[in-house]
Amino acid sequence: MADLKWSSDGQEMFDKIMAIVPEAMRDAVKPMLFGFIEKRAAGKPVTADIVAAMVQNDLPEPQRTGIMQALGMKKPAEQAAPEAASAPAAPPPPPFNPQWQGKSETMFEQMLQEVPEALRGVFRGKLMEILRQKSKGGAVSETYVTEIVQEIVPEPFKSKILKKFSEMGDFDISVIETIIARHGVSQDNLTYILHDTQEAIGYLPPEALRAISNKTGIYLSTIYNVATFIRHSVWSQRVSTT
């Protein structure tokens, strides 16, 4: 890739875009943006107008709308002549109030937590519209939310969100976070973590064991072995007291 020559306003605008992009994604996103800009600049200095054209024409949705809103950029339709703006606009679609099924709402909110706060409002609306299309305006299943993550969310956020989905059970995940904060992540304390988890939840569901593995770095096979021993010990105690 050729070295880009930047004007001061072009560099300033590009830096603002990179500040919006989550830090974990910047190294992956920057080469793609440079490629778009290089084609548009065609050897000329990169001005703010070139960067703006890249955002408006080359970025995919919903990233395009989110960045444009964060930068205060107007869509081309909003920049039309006053007489065109005076024409009656089509009424906006009614707000989508989905019928959430299972853990779909919790999963949807978890997905949004990975979006920079400045962009969440835009992304919520865009993702809601995708849900409307997938569900045909009806009930929203967990499958629809998972499909959105797989189809739209880039790495490494896709894997991170899907991992969090796998941890969800019929319990509050913060319970496990509190227990691990109390005992630490050392494998030496795994028995205490599992005992406290069982006391708090009432049993040791697979989702809880995966969450413990993800948060401590202890192999899931090791956790399953210790959990099996604990379950056997509890069962033996109950039998001996009957």
Instruction: With beta carbons less than 8 A apart as the criterion, state whether 186 and 151 touch.
Output: no
39 pLDDT exceeds 60? Answer: yes
pTM score: 0.52
Q: Are residues 134 and 109 in the same domain?
A: yes
Backbone angles phi, psi at 46, to 5 degrees: -85, 110
Torsion of CA 165, 167, 170, 173, to 10 degrees: -110
Instruction: Give the per-residue pLDDT at 224.
Output: 92
Over the chain, what is the mean pLDDT? 81
For residue 236, count CB atoms less than 10 angstroms from its CB and return exposed for 0-12, middle for 13-18, buried for 19 or more: exposed
Query: Distance between CA 26 and CA 73 in Å, rounded?
Result: 21
Q: Is residue 122 located within the same domain as residue 138?
A: yes
Name the domain boundary from 167, 189, 206: 167
49 with 67, same domain? Answer: yes
In terms of residue numbers, what domain contains 205? 173-240
**pLDDT tens per residue, range 134-190:** 999 889 999 999 999 998 887 778 888 888 888 777 777 788 889 999 999 999 999
Distance CA 15, CA 46 (A): 13
Q: Is pLDDT at 90 greater than 70 in this prediction?
A: no
Indicate if the pLDDT at residue 191 is higher than 60: yes
Virtual CA dihedral for 137, 141, 147, 149, nearest 10 degrees? 100
Pair 16, 69 in one domain: yes
Q: Which helix (H) or strand (E) holds 99?
A: strand 99-100
Q: Provide, rounded to the nearest whole percent, the portion of the chain with pLDDT above 70.
A: 86
Per the CB < 8 A criterion, the answer to whether 158 and 149 are in contact is yes
Q: Whole-angstrom Cα distance, residue 40 to residue 43?
A: 9
On whether residue 147 sits in a domain, the answer given is: yes
Which of 167, 184, 218 terminates a domain? The answer is: 167
**Residue 131 neighbours by CB under 8 Å, 6+ apart:** 96, 98, 108, 140, 144, 145, 148
Q: Where are the alpha helices (DSSP H) in the chain?
A: 8-20, 26-41, 48-58, 63-71, 82-85, 104-112, 120-135, 142-152, 157-167, 173-183, 190-201, 206-216, 220-240
Please count the structural domains in the chain.
3
136 lies in a domain? Answer: yes
Together in a domain, 18 and 69 = yes
